[in-house]
Amino acid sequence: MSVLNPPPDALLARLEARLGPRGFTRDEDDMAPWLTDWRGRYHGRAAALVSPASAADVREVVTACAQAGVGIVPQGGNSSMVGGATPPAQGGVLLLSLRRMNAIRTVSAEDNVLVAEAGAILTHVHEAAAAAGRRFPLTLGAKGSATVGGLVSTNAGGTQVLRFGPMRSLVAGLEAVLPDGSLYEGLSALRKDNRGYDLKQLLIGAEGTLGIVTAASLRLFPAAASRSVAWCGVATPSAALALLRFLEDRTGPAVESFELVPRRALDLVLAYVPGTRPPLAAPASWNVLVEAVDAALEPPLVEAAEAGLLGDAALAVSEAQAEAFWRLRDSISEAERHSGPALKHDISVPVAAMPAFMESAAAAVEQRFPGTRVIAFGHLGDGNVHFTVGAPPEADGAVWLESEALAVSAFVYGEVGAAGGSISAEHGIGQMKREALAATVSPVRLAAQRAIKQALDPKGIMNPGKLLPG
């Protein structure tokens, strides 16, 4: 990729004049919160923080940077898990925040479409859809800070992918500023549009390396009237998958979440997270949290129990109990933190291969790295689990992480590759997984990706140092 230039003073002065004091700062204190990722793992520098108020502002910034060969790092809610929105450590780039562009432009219940600017926060999208009697189904833990632009650019997943798919399935149109400063006006929400290569599909998941998403048309669905939530004990991951298929056959698409929790993870939550209590009278080896919308889970669960597909089960009889079940699932990451240093992996394999993978890969890791403890949990129905390798209890955590991280992750990714899987299911590549990407995907795929990057961003100004290996 081309060599970038630090922004010349004249360019900075021009942008400062255009964007005004709310839209331009070089103050270190003002910039500081946005130069480190929220997990505190990546630290970057930037020549300035620019905060455009409109797509026209964004065009101005990008056009100037394209001419001068200056790098731009777009940032939304700064909630990347892979350092995708943190500038390079050496600086010399502009950090471009979309947070001022946070309008919900339109909501159409008749069209089932909501148009939001890139900086709109997911929670606000949920609220705007609900106010129109509709529902935007994608949700995730960071919903209070994650922005539409970031969700689009990372093809975000979350807990409702089983039914509604990831962000890619929910984006009906995009507006974006391309690396040459031109404006791609593709907000028109067409259910069918076969006019050649779909640029929108490239921008989704491109992590800001092909342009800056400035607004998105999002698909809405009928509001959900009720949900049914149950906690089930099963013997194995295979039994869990069989239960999922059984429930889907009985309820059609009503099952929206199907989360697998091993006993180890539940025990950690019960030990470390205050106010939690066991969901079942007798602990099960594996647990499933299932949620169905506008359909009752009781009849199919009774039938499944009679067919021997599950052990104990508890059906939430109140919204409070449903929330308590979800809290057990959502507290796993927090509980893991209390239990010591660990390496996390966000991986996917084909759904049917996941049960065997969870058991065989965990065993292989624990054998290869004695003393480690694997906890794999999450979105079984999507073939996506969070695969955590805990440091041996007797090891110094920081030292272990430093010395073993690369080897452990490479081993995990090798197992993933052997199962036809992906080293990044929903978090993206960012700066964290660039080298792992190079090591694990085929040269054909990598060459095609590089050719696309070169074609659309020949100067390499968009989010330099992210996604594609150096």
Binding positions for its own copies, 435-464, rule CB under 8 A: 437, 441-442, 444-445, 447-449, 451-456
Residue 13 Cβ vs its own copies, minimum distance, rounded to whole Å: 29
Contact assessment for residue 294 and residue 226, using Cβ atoms and an 8 Å cutoff: yes
Binding its own copies (rule: CB under 8 A), the pick from 148, 239, 389, 468 is 468
Binding its own copies (rule: CB under 8 A), the pick from 102, 169, 333, 360 is 169
Which residues from 16-35 bind its own copies, rule CB under 8 A?
A: none
Binding its own copies (rule: CB under 8 A), the pick from 4, 49, 178, 269 is 178
Binding of residue 81 to its own copies (CB under 8 A): no
Q: Which residues pair with 255 in a beta bridge?
A: 292
Closest to its own copies by CB, 86 vs 154, is: 154
Binding its own copies (rule: CB under 8 A), the pick from 17, 27, 191, 370 is 191
Residue 110 Cβ vs its own copies, minimum distance, rounded to whole Å: 4
Sheet of strand 342-348: strand arrangement = 313-315, 227-234, 286-293, 255-262, 373-379, 384-390, 342-348
Residue 148 Cβ vs its own copies, minimum distance, rounded to whole Å: 17
Which residues from 203-242 bind its own copies, rule CB under 8 A?
A: 204-207, 210, 222, 241
Binding its own copies (rule: CB under 8 A), the pick from 25, 51, 214, 384 is 384
Binding of residue 59 to its own copies (CB under 8 A): no
Which residues from 333-372 bind its own copies, rule CB under 8 A?
A: 348-353
Nearest CA among 314, 294, 308 for reference residue 251: 294
Binding its own copies (rule: CB under 8 A), the pick from 1, 183, 364, 401 is 183
Contact assessment for residue 437 and residue 445, using Cβ atoms and an 8 Å cutoff: no
Residue 454 Cβ vs its own copies, minimum distance, rounded to whole Å: 6
Contact assessment for residue 130 and residue 119, using Cβ atoms and an 8 Å cutoff: no
Binding its own copies (rule: CB under 8 A), the pick from 29, 194, 318, 320 is 194
Closest to its own copies by CB, 13 vs 447, is: 447
Helix (H, G, I), strand (E, B) or coil at 378: strand
Nearest CA among 45, 41, 10, 40 for reference residue 26: 45
Output the six-digit token pair for 233. 């004990």
Binding of residue 467 to its own copies (CB under 8 A): yes
CB within 8 Å of 451: residues ≥ 6 apart: none
Binding its own copies (rule: CB under 8 A), the pick from 54, 63, 123, 182 is 182
Q: Which stretch binds its own copies (CB under 8 A): 9-17, 35-43, 247-255, 322-330?
A: 247-255
Q: Which stretch binds its own copies (CB under 8 A): 41-49, 88-96, 144-152, 166-174?
A: 166-174
Total number of residues that touch its own copies (CB under 8 A): 85
Residue 143 Cβ vs its own copies, minimum distance, rounded to whole Å: 18
How far apart are alpha carbons 416 and 426 in whole angstroms? 15
Binding of residue 470 to its own copies (CB under 8 A): no
CA distances to 5, 61, 394, 415 from 386, in Å: 39, 38, 24, 14
Binding its own copies (rule: CB under 8 A), the pick from 5, 126, 270, 294 is 294
Which residues from 413-432 bind its own copies, rule CB under 8 A?
A: 420-429
Residue 105 Cβ vs its own copies, minimum distance, rounded to whole Å: 14
Binding of residue 68 to its own copies (CB under 8 A): no
Residue 420 Cβ vs its own copies, minimum distance, rounded to whole Å: 4
Closest to its own copies by CB, 19 vs 376, is: 376
How far apart are alpha carbons 45 and 95 in whole angstroms? 9
Residue 153 Cβ vs its own copies, minimum distance, rounded to whole Å: 10
Angle at 98 between CA 468 and CA 139, to 5 degrees: 80
Residue 307 Cβ vs its own copies, minimum distance, rounded to whole Å: 16
For 294-355, give the DSSP string.
Answer: SS-SHHHHHHHHHTTS-S-EEE--SHHHHHHHHHHHHTHHHHHHHT--EEEEEEE--GGGHH
The helix (run of H) or strand (run of E) holding residue 14 is helix 9-23
How far apart are alpha carbons 380 and 382 in whole angstroms? 5
Closest to its own copies by CB, 102 vs 454, is: 454
How far apart are alpha carbons 404 and 383 in whole angstroms? 26
How far apart are alpha carbons 449 and 202 in whole angstroms? 10
How far apart are alpha carbons 44 and 369 in whole angstroms? 33
Binding of residue 383 to its own copies (CB under 8 A): yes
How far apart are alpha carbons 189 and 373 in whole angstroms? 47
Evaluate the CA torsion angle 166, 167, 168, 171 in order and state its sign: positive
Binding its own copies (rule: CB under 8 A), the pick from 2, 90, 201, 226 is 201
- Phi and psi dihedrals of 175, rounded to 5? -120, 135
Closest to its own copies by CB, 32 vs 410, is: 410
Binding of residue 110 to its own copies (CB under 8 A): yes
Sheet of strand 71-75: strand arrangement = 24-25, 48-50, 93-97, 71-75
Nearest CA among 363, 361, 367, 407 for reference residue 386: 361
